[in-house]
Amino acid sequence: MAAVALVVLVTGPPVAVVYLMLVLAGVGTHGTQCLIIAAVASHYPAHLRGTALGWALGVGRIGAVAAPQAGGLLLAAGLGVNSNFLAFAGAAAAAAVLIAAVGTKIKKSTAVGATNV
């Protein structure tokens, strides 16, 4: 959802659509974070869950620090705001693909009765 909303912003929509797309991008981003927490919590056994969640959230914080830096570099290179929207849409699309892959793997491993480790 976030990736699609960010790509729509590049097209120069009317102001009302811009606000709607910004809301959808925020909801999609927050939703991805929640899905990652749920996926990690359901995948790891209880004795590893805290460490796994800590690592997953810590790596996410690296992205939260690096994204504004990357955005600033794109702007400093003279590429404009649309380059930021496209770069972040690419990251959101990659996150969606990875979450779907993890979800598929978890479904397959639990369907055959295997443990989640």
Q: What is the DSSP letter of 115?
A: -
Closest CA to 71 of 86, 84, 88, 90: 84
- Report the predicted TM-score, pTM, of the whole model to 2 decimal places: 0.74
Into how many domains does the chain fold? 1
Tell whether 56 is covered by a domain.
yes
pLDDT tens digit sequence for 81-104: 999 999 999 988 998 898 788 778
Tell whether 1 is covered by a domain.
no
pLDDT tens digit sequence for 7-58: 999 998 999 999 999 999 989 888 878 888 888 888 888 999 999 999 988 9
Tell whether 26 is covered by a domain.
no
Tell whether 72 is covered by a domain.
yes
